[in-house]
């Protein structure tokens, strides 16, 4: 229709529940970013609050405002008054990826290079900005070829890598923190699992995420006052008043961070797969919205998240934005466009005024982290649900490199504390490092290869194996170096002692031999393979 047959009811009571769900999810990602950087890498929290948080919040503001406008436009064009805006927020998988594999390592490398704490934090910030801008540019380009990308990348390959991240990082690491304070964490987790995962309405129709946060915070207050929980166990070592009205992030507009591009290149094998994940995720979100009755343009959705990501990075943000998978759920709640508009206003308010520092200091991590457990479970479940049953083994094998990354995060803490592994353990730890280096790309390649094999397509499987061998030659996957740096095959340099017999050349040769095997196998079995088609589920 050219005009609406009824006024667009852009704000309803259902927007309240949708707002709390979307806003708390974004706050959880912001809290997680600052907390993990400070706790794991000793990154200065005050610097993160004044430099990293405002720009990251701007990305959410821009993205949700665009999606709000898109909802109004769709309502006007379709003549419907029940259009629900596409939800947008910070990408949770990228939050873990940026902290553990980009920002944290960049900070520790800068310290090791002789920079003081302030300069090292700034250097890591600049690398994070470059990485996010690169992600945004990649997504904008993908907006023009969203369809072909989806056809070329096997669903099991991409969703398998997302399931791996969700299970090994988004779900496991928060549960570690939850068990650090079970009086708070387990109660909040139970509320989240019952209200969000099982979708059992909380009494008085209080949003489950809000109930988990409020009750968890109440238990913390009671616990600290009675001595059950150590006083200050969740207090950040910051001065929240000093974080009010931050202006330090405005230095990003000088574009001095562009000088960090050369140091950012080695992190692109981590960053770009995360961006690709949000592209395909955006396509899936658009389809799920269409199934719920809201027909958004796929390229516009992907392009909008790319623009929001670029603006976030240029303003100092270090986490990319993405459409969320919850559109049908928000529509079922009765949400329209007010919830995304309110989320943009709220996240912008707390991020740009500095009042987020008070949230960061007062919200106990174990009370808000169960939200991320829910997100991890949902992404993992969706990865299997959206994948044909015969391809489940491909999804599972994609989890293996991510499990190695999870183990390496923990073992690195032991090594940093002075632990000295014996020869056998050192060899095993090096194997773990090889698997975890470029684990997202490895997960995608392995899942793609297994998917092709399950479909009895040996030549595509050989192609996936050849691609893995080529990437191993440059360190994009299986880099043998502690910092996972990239290299060229003719200039690899001196390898660690533990790499004997399993350096880049050997790994590339192994993948190459596997490709040859699959090719010969295909030649010998072509007639049989032509007669035997894979069973459809």
pLDDT mean over 194-201: 90
Q: How far apart are CA 399 and CA 394, in angstroms?
A: 9
- Name residue 321's beta-bridge partners: 90
pLDDT at 86 over 90: yes
pLDDT band of 4, cuts 50, 70, 90: very low
- The residue to which tokens 């632990």 are assigned: 419
Distance CA 373, CA 68 (A): 27
Rounded CA-CA distance 203/14 in Å is 16
Q: pLDDT category, 235, cuts 50, 70, 90?
A: low
Using alpha carbons, select from 266, 370, 281, 259 the residue that is nearest to residue 325: 281
Check: CB of residue 109 under 8 Å from CB of residue 45: no
Give the tokens for residue 455: 């479909």
- Range scoring the smallest mean pLDDT among 77-91, 102-116, 441-455, 475-489: 475-489
Look at phi and psi of residue 11 and say left if phi exceeds 0, alpha if psi is from -120 to 50, else beta: beta
Q: Which residue has the tokens 């610097």?
A: 47
Averaged pLDDT for residues 151-160: 75
d(CA 418, CA 428): 18
Residue 259 is classified by DSSP as G
Mean local confidence (pLDDT), 277-305? 87
Map tokens 């399931």 to a residue: 163
Q: What is the pLDDT of residue 380?
A: 87
pLDDT at 535 over 70: no
Phi-psi group of 46: left, alpha or beta (phi > 0 → left; psi -120 to 50 → alpha; rest → beta): alpha
- The pLDDT value recorded for residue 232 is 57
Is the predicted pLDDT of residue 305 greater than 70, yes or no? yes
Lowest mean pLDDT among 107-111, 152-156, 208-212, 251-255: 152-156
Q: How far apart are CA 221 and CA 184, in angstroms?
A: 10
- Among 339, 322, 342, which Cα is nearest to 331's? 339
Phi first, then psi: give them for residue 323, nearest 5 degrees.
-65, 140
Is a pLDDT exceeding 70 seen at residue 429? yes
Instruction: Answer whether residue 334 shows pLDDT above 60.
Output: yes
CA distance 344 to 326: 17
Q: What is the band of 532 on the pLDDT scale with cuts at 50, 70, 90? A: low
pLDDT band at 328 (very low <50, low <70, confident <90, very high): confident
Centroid of chain to Cα 112: 27
Q: Which residues, 6+ apart, have CB-to-CB distance to 500 below 8 Å?
A: none
Helix H, strand E, coil C: the string for 187-219 is HHHHHHHHHHHCCCCCHHHCCHHHHHHHHHHHH
Identify the residue whose tokens are 């669903």: 155
Residues 469 and 508 sit within 8 Å (Cβ to Cβ): yes
Torsions phi, psi of 467, nearest 5? -60, -40
Question: Which pLDDT score, from 0 to 100, does residue 291 have?
Answer: 78
Going by C-alpha positions, the residue among 342, 341, 309 that lies closest to residue 323 is 309
By mean pLDDT, which of 43-57, 281-295, 448-462 is the weakest? Answer: 281-295
Nearest to 257 by CA among 437, 433, 51, 449: 51
Of 389, 360, 106, the residue nearest 241 (C-alpha): 360
Between CA 427 and CA 432 the distance in angstroms is: 9
- pLDDT at 451 (0 to 100): 94
What is the chain's mean pLDDT, rounded? 89
In angstroms, the CA 422 to CA 416 distance is 16
**pLDDT reported for residue 2:** 45
Backbone φ and ψ for 337, nearest 5 degrees, come out as -115, -15
| Cα 289 from Cα 277, distance rounded (Å) | 18
Pair of tokens at residue 515: 């490709």
Q: What is the pLDDT of residue 229?
A: 77
d(CA 431, CA 498): 9
The arithmetic mean of pLDDT across residues 337-352, rounded, is: 97
| pLDDT at 527 exceeding the cut of 70 | no
Torsion of CA 330, 332, 334, 338, to 10 degrees: 20
Share of the chain above pLDDT 90, in %: 54
Measured distance CA(258)–CA(264) in Å, rounded: 10
What are the structural domain ranges in the chain?
14-76+94-385, 389-531
> What is the distance between the alpha carbons of residues 508 and 467, in angstroms, rounded to a whole number?
9
- In whole angstroms, what is the distance from residue 5 CA to residue 270 CA? 48
User: Percent helix, strand, coil in the chain (nearest 5)?
Assistant: 75, 0, 25
How far is the C-alpha of 145 from the C-alpha of 130, rounded, in Å?
23
Q: What is the CA radius of gyration of the chain?
A: 23
Using CA atoms, how far apart are residues 375 and 162, in angstroms rounded to an integer?
12
Question: Hey, how many other C-beta atoms are within 10 angstroms of the C-beta on 247?
Answer: 9
């Amino acid at each position: 229709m050219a005009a609406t047959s009824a006024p667009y009811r852009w704000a309803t009571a259902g927007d309240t529940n949708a707002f709390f769900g979307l806003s708390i999810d974004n706050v959880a990602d912001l809290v997680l970013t600052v907390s993990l950087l400070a706790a794991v890498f000793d990154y200065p929290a005050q610097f993160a609050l004044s430099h990293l948080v405002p720009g990251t919040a701007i990305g959410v503001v821009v993205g949700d405002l665009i999606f709000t406008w898109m909802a109004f436009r769709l309502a006007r064009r379709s003549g419907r008054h029940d259009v629900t805006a596409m939800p947008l927020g910070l990408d949770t998988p990228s939050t873990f990826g940026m902290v553990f594999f980009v920002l944290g390592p960049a900070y520790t490398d800068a310290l090791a290079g002789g920079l003081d704490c302030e300069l090292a934090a700034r250097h890591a910030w600049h690398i994070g900005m470059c990485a996010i801008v690169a992600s945004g540019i990649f997504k904008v380009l993908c907006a023009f070829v969203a369809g072909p990308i989806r056809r070329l990348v096997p669903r099991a390959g991409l969703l398998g890598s997302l399931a791996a991240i969700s299970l090994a990082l988004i779900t496991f690491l928060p549960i570690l923190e939850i068990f650090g304070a079970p009086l708070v964490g387990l109660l909040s987790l139970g509320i989240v699992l019952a209200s969000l995962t099982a979708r059992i309405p909380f009494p008085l129709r209080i949003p489950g995420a809000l109930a988990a946060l409020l009750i968890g915070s109440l238990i913390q207050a009671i616990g600290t006052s009675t001595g059950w929980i150590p006083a200050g166990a969740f207090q950040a070592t910051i001065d929240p008043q000093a974080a009010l009205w931050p202006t330090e992030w405005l230095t990003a507009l000088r574009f001095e961070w562009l000088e960090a591009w050369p140091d950012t290149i080695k992190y692109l094998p981590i960053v770009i797969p995360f961006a690709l994940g949000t592209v395909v995720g955006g396509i899936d979100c658009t389809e799920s919205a269409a199934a719920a009755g809201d027909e958004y343009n796929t390229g516009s959705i992907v392009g909008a998240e790319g623009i929001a990501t670029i603006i976030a990075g240029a303003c100092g943000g270090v986490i990319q934005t993405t459409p969320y998978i919850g559109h049908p759920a928000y529509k079922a709640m009765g949400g329209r466009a007010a919830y995304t508009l309110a989320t943009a206003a709220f996240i912008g308010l707390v991020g740009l005024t500095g009042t987020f520092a008070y949230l960061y200091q007062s919200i106990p991590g174990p009370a808000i982290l169960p939200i991320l457990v829910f997100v991890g479970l949902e992404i993992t479940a969706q990865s299997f649900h959206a994948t044909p049953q015969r391809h489940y083994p491909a999804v599972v094998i994609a989890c293996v490199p991510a499990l190695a990354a999870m183990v390496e995060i923990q073992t690195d803490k032991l090594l940093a504390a002075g632990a000295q592994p014996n020869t056998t353990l050192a060899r095993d730890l090096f194997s773990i490092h090889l698997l975890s280096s470029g684990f997202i790309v490895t997960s995608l390649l392995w899942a793609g290869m297994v998917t092709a094999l399950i479909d009895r397509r040996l030549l595509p499987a050989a192609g996936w194996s050849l691609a893995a061998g080529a990437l191993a030659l440059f360190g994009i996957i299986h880099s043998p170096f502690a910092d996972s740096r990239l290299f060229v095959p003719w200039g690899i340099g001196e390898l660690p002692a533990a790499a004997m017999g399993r350096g880049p050349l050997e790994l590339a040769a192994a993948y190459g031999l596997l490709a040859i095997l699959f090719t010969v196998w295909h030649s010998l079995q072509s007639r049989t393979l032509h007669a035997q088609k894979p069973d459809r589920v």
